[in-house]
Amino acid sequence: MRALALHPDVVVVAGAVLGVNCVIVRGAVEAQGTGAEPVAAGMEPAGAETFVIDSPVLPDELDALPTLLAQAHFPAPSGLLATHGDWDHLLARLAFPTAALGCGEDTVERLRARPGEAQRALRSFDEGLLIDRPRPLSLGSVQGLPLPGRCDVGERELELHPAAGHTSDGMAILIGWAGVLVVGDYLSPLELPSFSDGGDPTAYGATLERLRGLLSRADHVVPGHGPVLDCARALEILEEDLHYLAELGEARKLPAGRRGAAQQRIHAANLAALGQEDL
């Protein structure tokens, strides 16, 4: 696990497996009055609030999150956010079982329609790697957030944008004051576009176009899987992915850096979902 500070209020935790990213964001209460002193570096602003977006996967990484927050002078999280309902984005509850979990209303619908799906997928993953967790995943009550919309963190606001297409649900989060865009399972330099649980290429392309409009407001783009990107690289991947979607099913090379065996399997699955065969 590696931690990278993108801004005094934003830390990205990169997990050791699946290339997963967890984003920790702090929203401070803004000082009142013209004579207020700025908060010194390394100090926790009075009245600050913290949210954790998505999650690492391994038990020791989840167990380390509270200590990491304390070392960064971030308060314990009052809320957790999941960009979508895939199991590997829902595990922050294992680290912070009493924190409220919020996600887009479409993700709430997905979780309610398929109770236990995330737990079964996690159990299958753990069995494959012989991982023994100290406690099972319990999502508890999940709060649905309207998309598009806004979510307060301290006296700051997170912008919430719809991001269906990879699955039937999805949410991108713009941390505007920090210049950080969290996109969920899009714009990955490691993975091809893929569709599952009601996702489809048309919705995927529409989400990419929405993300295009947000990239100009971001200095850093955090995909669900893979390294943090600058705006220019994120735009390159966006164009590659739109081109891939437009030519899906035709004989062509996959995008550079995404031609390995795992991506060939994703490509074959995409074709199968569309009722086509690889050429």
The dihedral built from the CA positions of residue 71, 74, 76 and 81, taken in this order, carries a sign that is negative
Q: Is pLDDT at 37 greater than 70 in this prediction?
A: no
pLDDT of residue 159: 99
| pLDDT at 149 > cutoff 60 | yes
Residue 204: partners with Cβ closer than 8 Å, 6 or more residues away: 165, 166, 186, 193, 195, 241, 245
Delimit the domains of the chain by residue range.
2-189+219-231
Is 106:164 a contact under the CB 8 Å cutoff? yes
Q: How far apart are CA 63 and CA 69, in angstroms?
A: 11
pLDDT digits (tens, 9 = 90+) for 88-146: 999 999 999 999 999 999 999 999 999 999 999 999 999 999 999 999 999 999 999 99
Of residues 170 and 248, more confidently modeled: 170
Phi and psi at residue 5, to the nearest 5°: -85, 120
> How far is Cα 66 from Cα 61, in angstroms, rounded to an integer?
10
pLDDT in tens, 42-80: 556 667 899 999 999 999 999 999 999 999 999 999 999
Mean pLDDT, the chain, rounded, equals 92
Question: Which superfamily is assigned to 2-189+219-231 in CATH?
Answer: Ribonuclease Z/Hydroxyacylglutathione hydrolase-like (3.60.15.10)
Give the pLDDT of residue 272: 87
Q: Where residue 274 falls among pLDDT bands split at 50, 70, 90? A: confident
Assigned token pair, 44: 């926790």
pTM over 0.85: yes
Terminal-to-terminal C-alpha distance of the chain: 39
Report the C-alpha gap between 27 and 45 in whole angstroms.
9
pLDDT above 70 for 31: no
| Interatomic CA distance for residues 25 and 8, integer angstroms | 9
